Amino acid sequence: MAALNPYLNFNGNAQEAFNFYKSVFGGEFATVMRFDQMPGDQKPASDEANKIMHIALPVGKGNMLMASDVAQAYPQAVAGTNYSISITADSEEEARKLFDGLSKGGNVTVPLDKAFWGSLFGMLTDKFGIQWMMSYDYDRHQ
């Protein structure tokens, strides 16, 4: 069965927020990726290069708190819409089924497809206004 985790969006202070959360929850970051690590033509503006593209902090048993900074090219995060529910599926089939089901009557913002980091990934807002992120990690299941 898929795992559900909160995914937070910040306007440039994700690193600061996650250093705070790390001081509260303890542990070590599982992942820290910056925008300057994006491949080729997807490079960010120079003032965004060091901002957080993805950060993950394990919290408790089997839970992951994740986040990113919102690139300036996109609408900035505001309270109430600065989060998504991230689903990590156990199979590609499950990811596609859940993504297709949740997107009925909603709005797909990033089509479910293989991402440059090697996972199947997509984003949508369901018909109730809830934001979802779907992923399936091919490497983890081989």
Residues 58 and 94 in one domain: no
pTM, rounded to two decimals: 0.77
Residue-number span of the structural domain to which 8 is assigned: 1-81
The pLDDT value given to residue 79:
84
The pLDDT value given to residue 123:
96
Token pair listed for 134: 């779907």
Q: How far is CA 61 from CA 1, 39, 102, in A?
A: 16, 33, 27
3-state helix/strand/coil string of 22-54: HHHHCCCCCEEEEHHHCCHHHCCCHHHCCCEEE
CATH number at residue 76: 3.30.720.100
Number of domains in the chain: 2
Q: Which of 88, 99, 63, 60 is nearest to 1 (CA)?
A: 88
Token pair listed for 37: 């690590």
What's the one-letter identity of residue 100? D
The pLDDT value given to residue 77:
87
Residues 6 and 45 in one domain: yes
Q: Return all residues near 13 (Cβ < 8 A) that are at least 6 apart.
A: 69
Q: Which of 110, 105, 100, 108 is nearest to 128 (CA)?
A: 105
The pLDDT value given to residue 1:
65
- Name residues of the chain where pLDDT drops below 50: none
The pLDDT value given to residue 113:
96
The pLDDT value given to residue 67:
94
